[in-house]
A and B are shown apart, each in its own frame.
Chain A
């Protein structure tokens, strides 16, 4: 395995950070501190953390409505993220975007997105720019199983393949488009099968295993950096909560929920790292303590940040 100890701890740390952020977001939404919609990423942390461990700040990602995990994995700062969820002026978007529109172009985060599948053509465009400018940057496009049924998926994968663009399409298959199980929306089991239509590699991995995700993503990222074009990577996973907060997910079978919770990527990876002698109890506790501290700071930052002045309504429409 071509991965160092520090990188393994880094992936684990990102996963903890995402889970803790989502837990706090859940509580703060319930406590009416966060307006609007919140779509939690809890359960899918191994995908964002495993993929983004292959990226640098120069690489791009496009994200989704369930985007907090991608943003944290790509280096998004918790203070500005939390303040954005609150709709405060100290947020990433000065409170104008909210959970579904957080972006940090400086970090290569081209935005979460409220439209399912909309990141795909934008990712192709960003990858086109990297190829045109002859940098070795790649773009990772995160999307769900539902988005693979959009026309954007077909147009973007086809164009990216025809132009050999440095983009990795990462499908987080959590098996549900809101309440609709994959089996009602498509007649295939593995979304990666669709790669064949575009003449690009397609691979399905256990999306709750960060190392499997890391290795598969590494191959795809290396391929893209070398100029060999796009790949489609499907990561099978499970969202622990509803589609958004307020959705009880009554449509999920209890036995499925139980089975998948037993495959929760975080305790699984923790056990593995302890077995490998990379972490031990006190080290894990120290990581948790640091994450908790940073989150407390982020919430404090968000609480103290003022709401945007009403004059902000009219700014930033045009450059």
Chain B
């Protein structure tokens, strides 16, 4: 084990795979000499050179297309969109091309690439640089979507994503980049499609992913002071979603609060809630509730943005409302 930040951990995942497999390369805007907008790729240009750490033009469409075409032709690309907000520019390449190739071609194509997309609010980066768009991507059959919270999973899911034979959208949460945690050394894989209980509790399940897992852990400590023990479930992977872990938790607690930073309407929380209602209804002692951002663009001004992002206090209030 070593103590790494989230950004160091996800970088270590990329570096280890690039050392192991010459077919892995990284391409994106300012990933080379500059080292990534948030320093995610620092040192990689020096180690692997411009042929494997490729600075691209500002052409998101061509970047996702590059990943798709190179993957179909035998490489294992990692491509980066500087912000997940830019995926709209490259959506056709992702949802009509990469995601559908395998199915449309009758299973005779393999498109193994990772599209890294930094997401989330918290920096006053305003409406076009702060969104959480995992639900958009989850709606498209044919791609996997992962969204790690812990530094260990930032590394473990990176390695698993690179080795996966499908297009994987790896959503890295910007506010987590500086989060420190214990990270296993060397080859470490977090399985795609497995959630985890990151805090055990008996009274209410707080189900979340990305940065909101941290918010839920804080809320759980506060709830404990009120005499309610919360279980915190970190989904880790959005697609495929590990319903079983969620059902098992709710079976134990009888109450579910789903927390995400994305806007409320048609957020992935709606999917979790629907599955839970269909398959776990008998376990529930209270309605399923969601704590989410409101249905607004992400605001710029700090007090507005603070209000936009779900807080531990809001999670506590929602949870206590179920008793």
Instruction: Decide whether A and B assemble into one complex.
Output: yes
Cα separation A124 to B51 with both chains bound (whole Å): 15
Q: Is A162 among interface residues, defined by CB-CB distance under 8 A?
A: yes
Stretch from B56-64, B202-210, B211-219, B297-305 forming part of the interface with A: B56-64
Residue of B65, B105, B164 touching A103 (CB-CB under 8 A): B105
| Chain B interface, DSSP helix/strand/loop, else mixed | mixed
Q: In chain A, what residue has the closest Cβ to B96? A: A115
Beta-carbon nearest neighbor of B112 in chain A: A319
Residue among B66, B74, B102, B107 making CB contact with A133, cutoff 8 Å: B74
Known A124-B66, A128-B69; contact A115-B25, beta-carbon cutoff 8 A = no
CA distance A199 to B128 in the complex (A): 33
Q: Which of A93, A106, A124 contacts B106 (CB 8 A)?
A: A93
- Please name all residues of chain A whose beta carbon is closer than 8 Å to the beta carbon of B97 when the two chains form the complex: 113, 115, 118, 122
- The CA of A152 and the CA of B96, in the complex, are separated in Å by 14
In the complex, the answer to whether B57 meets A60 with C-beta atoms within 8 Å is no
Docked Cα-Cα span, A129 to B22, in Å, equals 12
* A226 CB to nearest chain B CB (Å): 18
Contact with A along B32-58 (1 / 0, CB 8 A): 000000000000000000010010110
For window 61-102 of A, CB contacts with B under 8 Å fall at 62, 91-97, 101
The residue in chain B whose Cβ has the minimal distance to the Cβ of A114 is B96
Contacts of A118 in B (CB 8 A): 65, 92-93, 96-97
The verdict on B16 contacting chain A, using a C-beta distance below 8 Å, is no
Cα-based distance from A110 to B70 in the complex (angstroms): 11
User: Interface stretch among A26-34, A153-161, A172-180, A205-213?
Assistant: A153-161
- For chain A, the bracket of interface size reads 35 or more
For residue B103, CB closer than 8 A to chain A, the reply is yes
Say whether B57 contacts A101, CB under 8 Å: no
Inter-chain contacts of B66 with A (CB < 8 A): 121, 124-125, 128, 159
B72 contact set on A, CB distance < 8 A: 105, 110, 122, 125-126
B110 and A155 within 8 A (CB):
no
Given contacts A115-B96, A125-B70, 17 further A-B contacts (CB under 8 A): A92-B105, A93-B104, A105-B109, A110-B69, A110-B73, A114-B96, A121-B64, A121-B65, A121-B93, A122-B97, A125-B66, A125-B69, A139-B69, A152-B62, A152-B65, A155-B65, A159-B59
A-B contact pairs, 28 of them (CB 8 A): A60-B73, A93-B108, A94-B106, A96-B103, A96-B104, A105-B72, A105-B108, A111-B105, A111-B109, A115-B92, A120-B65, A122-B69, A124-B65, A125-B65, A125-B71, A128-B69, A130-B73, A132-B70, A132-B75, A133-B75, A152-B65, A155-B61, A158-B59, A159-B56, A159-B66, A162-B57, A316-B102, A319-B110
Interfacial residues, chain A to chain B (CB-CB below 8 A): 60, 62, 91-97, 101, 103-106, 110-111, 113-115, 118, 120-130, 132-133, 139, 151-152, 155-156, 158-159, 162-163, 315-319
